[in-house]
Amino acid sequence: MSDSESPATHDGNDRPADLRLYIPEPQVWTARVKIGWDKEYCYAKLPGQDYLHLLLNGEIFLESRDERLCLTCAVRRGVVTMDRLYWQNRPRIASIPVVGL
Ligand SMILES: [Zn+2]
């Protein structure tokens, strides 16, 4: 027996929270980082807000062909999710029956 003593790195108590994010439609949305201080805004507003969300230098945002969303709005609209099982909760394109064959 030659068990090497491994340090207790995974005691489960001080592991960081799982902050991974997923884009269910990666063909539509791209994660980008804002570079520079020129004024660019999120295209969405939260209910009750009458101002636009300014994207800051270094801020991660989501972009599609004709929309740009801050991370907060992207999560709210489901463009980005923390649900690792998102792919189980949506209809798969491959499961849609092909008509006409
Ligand atoms: Zn926003």
Per the confidence metrics, is the pTM higher than 0.75? no
Q: How high is the pLDDT of residue 6?
A: 47
Sequence-ordered list of residues with C-beta below 8 angstroms from that of 18, at least 6 positions apart, any chain: 82, 84
Rg for the chain (alpha carbons), in Å?
20
Q: Are 40 and 58 in contact (CB under 8 A)?
A: no
CA of 91 to the centre of ligand 1 (A): 27
CA of 40 to the centre of ligand 1 (A): 11
Torsion of CA 90, 91, 95, 98, to 10 degrees: -150
CA of 73 to the centre of ligand 1 (A): 4
* DSSP designation for 80: S
User: 74: how many CB neighbours lie within 10 A of its CB?
Assistant: 24
CA of 63 to the centre of ligand 1 (A): 12
74-92 mean pLDDT: 86
68-91 mean pLDDT: 90
